[in-house]
Structure 1
């Protein structure tokens, strides 16, 4: 992969992944996707995060095919993530993963995740969930062995799901993607990922926008003359945690890259981390069997 404006993290597959990626949740429609990808590539993004449930894989693939040459880049210069939808957990996982490959139409997917530990249509307590996760992982392992998925991982797994997977997998997950921000520090989960050699990646770094107006975040932002979004993203990357800010606004897309020319003081890092109260703004996997 060519150099990017952002640093990278080394996955356990031996591949470098950009620490900054563009999240594409709720980014729908060919024109919106094209505009956001164009702005992101111009700003130096080299990583893009999609999912089957986002319904934008085909538009993302088409936009990249058109825009990579414009920016002097090739397929190998970008890192593409997508995810298996809960609807296809288990029996339908192989077909669904191949459908994502077909939709993106980029030859391979750099990182493919199981999006959710449960199965759509089953109760969270349903004891079929573990078996379905195992079937999905076996499908991902097979496609990884074929080179179609360069790395495989999981999203929204809690501690027990991770331990279950590590005990049964042939290929360990390269990455765990979960909600992570100062009000949800996920300390134990991060520690287990470190122990297993699994990259820990954040989504919803801004707390769905709620944290942008938090008094402590505003105070830190004022102290270092940065935007609240830059402060929240910097808090994560300063701990070595990759982030996926999402925006369709070219100015915000650019500003969200400006994370690597400043540091937060230890006092400011501690002030933000002290907000940890286990608060989730997104879906909660805690009760999934």
Structure 2
């Protein structure tokens, strides 16, 4: 894949903004504490990661910003060499969206964020069946569009949206979402959502690629891993990136961070790709957004 000079030294995918997003990024969910973040970011940069995925609700935006400010010069990198994602918290859905996004910018200590997502289709404090949720989503999206126009958010997108949420957004937005980030692994192949994204030119991005660790002991995954003399995690991540689906494995362990980066020097056969995809049964390890109106 052809790389741009703006972010990443590894394979990337094009966004509908014209930018490119690395296929591999560090997921920062539950990664907290200044030293822990610093160590993880250091190991990631050394291993070639150039993308970092944070969120307001993760509580580590400021720590990520400080770590990058300290470490980028160590690797001869600048802000433009990394791709930073953050997300609007459900408490800021609706009226608080602009303030929430600007708070993320301030916490990161950056002039812009490469990708900013609406984290969840619902609103904190409202029931999932509350019919104020669609209006709040629309208000949040308009706020993100405004900040995108100002250049503060280089790309905007959504997370945990269903096909219905996506179609409603596409029917009303001025700026198309660049990315949809959802749970994706062999037990949850998200065929319908991927078709929606393909139809509208939206990049489909994965989280929970390892099934919260449970897929690492799946017999089929273990068999494929043995065939290639790779770790189960490497096989699961390779299964996604071989479909041009960006992944965000999370780890605080330098050795695992390095291992998770070694997924671009082997290829799974069509047969083994099919074996893994055949595990699909619509199983989610995380939250289910399908009840959010």
Q: Deviations over 1:148-175 (max 9, x none)?
A: 0000000000000000000000000000
Give how far 1:213 is off: 0.4
Distance (Å, rounded) in 2 between the aligned partners of 1:42 and 1:26: 21
Report the CA distance shift for 1:63/1:3 in structure 2 as closer, same or farther (over 3 A): closer
Q: Deviations over 1:251-276 (max 9, x none)?
A: 01001111111000111101000000
Which of 267, 274, 281 does residue 277 from structure 1 map onto? 281
Distance (Å, rounded) in 1 between the aligned partners of 2:284 and 2:57: 20
Matched, 1:102 2:106: yes
Which of 200, 214, 227 does residue 231 from structure 2 map onto? 227
Report the CA distance shift for 1:227/1:39 in structure 2 as closer, same or farther (over 3 A): same
Distance (Å, rounded) in 2 between the aligned partners of 1:99 and 1:106: 11
Aligned pair count reads 289
Cα root mean square deviation, aligned: 0.7
Distance (Å, rounded) in 1 between the aligned partners of 2:265 and 2:9: 11
Q: 1:178–1:201: 8 Å Cα contact kept in structure 2?
A: yes
Q: 2:8–2:82: 8 Å Cα contact kept in structure 1?
A: no
Distance (Å, rounded) in 2 between the aligned partners of 1:4 and 1:108: 17
TM-score (norm 1): 0.99
Give how far 1:106 is off: 1.7
Which of 251, 257, 266 does residue 262 from structure 1 map onto? 266
What does residue 144 of structure 2 align with?
A: 140
Give how far 1:3 is off: 6.5
Which of 79, 86, 103 does residue 82 from structure 1 map onto? 86
Q: 2:7–2:80: 8 Å Cα contact kept in structure 1?
A: no
TM-score (norm 2): 0.98
Matched, 1:191 2:172: no
Distance (Å, rounded) in 2 between the aligned partners of 1:3 and 1:73: 10
Indicate the SS of the match to 1:82. strand
Which of 25, 33, 54 does residue 37 from structure 2 map onto? 33
Dislocated runs of 4+, deviation >6 Å: none
Which of 18, 23, 26 does residue 22 from structure 1 map onto? 26
Matched, 1:163 2:167: yes
What does residue 286 of structure 1 align with?
A: 290
Indicate the SS of the match to 2:180. strand
Indicate the SS of the match to 2:195. helix
Structure 1 residue runs of 5 or longer lacking an equivalent are: none
Q: Deviations over 1:43-98 (max 9, x none)?
A: 00000000000000000000000000011000000000000001110011110000
Indicate the SS of the match to 1:183. coil
Q: 1:6–1:257: 8 Å Cα contact kept in structure 2?
A: no
Which of 7, 10, 22 does residue 6 from structure 1 map onto? 10
Matched, 1:60 2:64: yes
Report the CA distance shift for 1:114/1:6 in structure 2 as closer, same or farther (over 3 A): same
Give how far 1:4 is off: 3.6
Q: 2:55–2:89: 8 Å Cα contact kept in structure 1?
A: yes
Distance (Å, rounded) in 2 between the aligned partners of 1:203 and 1:89: 21
